[in-house]
Amino acid sequence: MTRSHPVTRPSVAFQPETRNHFYAGIIAVADMLATTLGPTGGPVLSYDTTRKKVEAIDDAATVLRRMISLGRPDLDIGAMLVRGMVWQLEQRIGDGGTAAVLLMRALVEEGMRQITAGTNAMRLVEGIRQGAELAHATLREQARKVTGERGLATVARTVMQDDDLAAVLGELSYLLGADGHLQVESYVAPYLERQYIGGAHYGAKIASMYFYSEPERQRAVISSPAVAVLDKGVTEAEQAVALLEATVKAGRKTLLVIAPDFSGPGLNLLVANHAQPEEK
């Protein structure tokens, strides 16, 4: 015995029905997100069907990422427009999704009222564009650059409402700057800890897991190494031997090689040398 599910028949909708459905989808999402408006907004509850648990979310982009459909195709058109707008905003700026949605709702509500009263839609769009440009220019004139550890901590506090974490983030942002590298590690403790390591950071991966000095943390720590920067890969044993001999002649016991590729006999020889019990 099988159970059949009703199939939604395709249909064509016309004005003003399409406009009303589009409007209703936007309003439904805006009403859902309104409670998350900061700085002290409340959460939206999302039920995870996989883990069978309820999740409290106070971030607009995350809420909409969980939303697949409102259950009605006619409402989903407006809802997905809001969803896409918030996602783009998160990627470009990282915050402000709820505020943008509520502004969008206000514009749509007033726009619907004006169009119903007979206003030309294209002239309305042009007026909104000009108003947005004026508001943007005014806000840029009023904006003040956040400087100093205290100012950065204040910005962080408005987002998370946690004084201790905000103070740490203000300190990190001030000391590391815009180009600093930050690594977050979770652990169970009633306090916040941070460690600063001077140096440079660039994207790369280790040639072999056998080079890890701390495998559990996937870290390779070496002290005062000879550094070889190559424009070709280390693939032959002769290349590895030359690097090791140069390290010995330089009076160093450790070697750091930066190259575009490690493979074949060259990598095997470096791994075998690293595995020797004596100091390298």
Tell me, what CATH number does 109's domain have?
A: 1.10.560.10
Q: Determine, yes or no, domain membership for 2.
A: no
**Does 135 score more than 90 pLDDT?**
yes
Q: Determine, yes or no, domain membership for 249.
A: yes
Residues 36, 59 contacting (CB under 8 angstroms):
yes
Q: Determine, yes or no, domain membership for 202.
A: no
Residues 177, 171 contacting (CB under 8 angstroms):
no
228 and 132 belong to one structural domain: no
Q: Give the number of domains in the chain.
A: 3
Domain boundary among 119, 142, 165: 142
35 and 110 belong to one structural domain: yes
Buried/exposed 144-172: b ≥16 CB within 10 Å, e otherwise = eeeeeeeebbeebbeeeeeeeebbbbbbb
Average pLDDT on 265-275 reads: 93
- Which of 37-51, 53-67, 145-159, 185-199 is the least confident region? 37-51
129 and 160 belong to one structural domain: no
Residue 67 burial by Cβ neighbours in a 10 Å radius (0-12, 13-18, 19+)? middle
104 and 171 belong to one structural domain: no
95 and 126 belong to one structural domain: yes
119 and 166 belong to one structural domain: no
pLDDT at 203: 79
d(CA 88, CA 274): 47
73-92 helix and 17-33 helix, angle to the nearest 10 degrees: 50
As a whole number, the mean pLDDT across the chain is: 87
pLDDT confidence bin for 151, thresholds 50/70/90: very high
**Does 7 score more than 70 pLDDT?**
no
74 and 154 belong to one structural domain: no
Average pLDDT on 197-216 reads: 87
Average pLDDT on 71-81 reads: 89
Average pLDDT on 63-83 reads: 89
Task: Provide the domain limits for residue 152.
Answer: 144-183
55 and 158 belong to one structural domain: no
135 and 163 belong to one structural domain: no
22 and 135 belong to one structural domain: yes
Q: Determine, yes or no, domain membership for 72.
A: yes
Q: Determine, yes or no, domain membership for 280.
A: no
pLDDT at 2: 42
Among the ranges 1-5, 36-40, 77-81, 198-202, which has the highest mean pLDDT value? 77-81
What phi, psi does 26 have (nearest 5°)? -65, -45
**Does 278 score more than 70 pLDDT?**
no
pLDDT at 31: 92
Residue-wise pLDDT for 237-258, tens only, equals: 999 999 999 999 999 999 999 9
**Does 132 score more than 80 pLDDT?**
yes
d(CA 135, CA 158): 23
Question: Which has the closest alpha carbon to 18: 162, 106, 89, 115?
Answer: 115
Q: Determine, yes or no, domain membership for 197.
A: no
55 and 126 belong to one structural domain: yes
pLDDT confidence bin for 137, thresholds 50/70/90: very high
230 and 247 belong to one structural domain: yes
Average pLDDT on 13-21 reads: 81
pLDDT confidence bin for 261, thresholds 50/70/90: very high
Average pLDDT on 24-43 reads: 87
Q: Determine, yes or no, domain membership for 94.
A: yes
Q: Determine, yes or no, domain membership for 132.
A: yes
